Amino acid sequence: MKRVLIIGATSGIAMACARVWAGQGASFFLVARSAEKLEALASDLRVRGACAVRLRQMDANDTAAHPGMVEAVVQALGAIDIALIAHGTLPAQSACEADPLLALGELTTNATSVIALLIALANQFESQRHGAIAVITSVAGDRGRPSNYLYGSAKAAVSVFCEGLRARLFKSDVSLIDIRPGFVATPMTEGLALPTRLVAQPETVARRIVAGIERKADVLYAPAFWALIMLIIRNIPRSIFKRMNL
């Protein structure tokens, strides 16, 4: 029986992953800002086969609350087999360019708070010497594109942090998976003009994430074709890239 912690549990991708694990009889500790959404998700997971579901309302930006949350999870579950960090926002680039305070707030949500959680979780996983930490970043972190470089820079910061932390945790038999989704049909992307053929359903992405965690992947593009797309984008010469409208 897997013991699963999900932070940002009511996000589209996180809920899809939780439903897969519920079908495997997992026990959950779910964390999110909305108590109402947490209750609805918990009811859904119980119907799908979850062994137990515990809830905690928390704003991930409240970094002072992170250690207490991790302690509560350990008390409730005994240990953590899988931790999935899935919270985040998708800010408008133009709004961040116009308002430095908004930009810093988005960096806090998408980078600083995630790194703070990783530090708290890494210490727990290192002491228990087993398990997997999975973090949802984004393909946007692979290169700074003019359409979303604020969001991309936040995700890039998390990915670089993960690279160093992964090497540290490897010595304790703990895996750290950097999950880089492309376009996914979730409330976060609703209303955006996205290329239809590149938009994946959360269920498709979730199955790939669950399988990637099982095989202890280091970096996981979801769907897989984004690995090739981003390989091409990363290798466009800067002299050409700066003239492109991506």
Residues classed as catalytic = 151
Residues 6 or more apart from 98 whose CB is under 8 A from it? Answer: none
The amino acid at residue 129 is R
Residue 190 Ramachandran class (φ > 0 left, ψ -120 to 50 alpha, else beta)? beta
Name the token pair of 155.
């995700």
Question: Between vectors from CA 27 to CA 44 and to CA 59, what angle results, nearest 5°?
Answer: 75
Sheet (strand 3-7) strand order: 52-57, 27-32, 3-7, 82-85, 132-136, 175-181, 219-222
Residue 204, amino acid: T
Q: Chain centroid to CA 31: how far?
A: 13
Written as six digits, the tokens of 83 are: 């931790």
| Burial of residue 73, with CB atoms counted within 10 A of its CB: 0-12 exposed, 13-18 middle, 19 or more buried | buried
Half-sphere exposure of 86 (CA within 13 A, CB side): 29
Residues 44 and 231: their CA atoms lie apart, in Å, by 38
Find out whether 14 and 86 touch, Cβ atoms under 8 Å. yes
Hey, what are 194's tokens?
């996205």
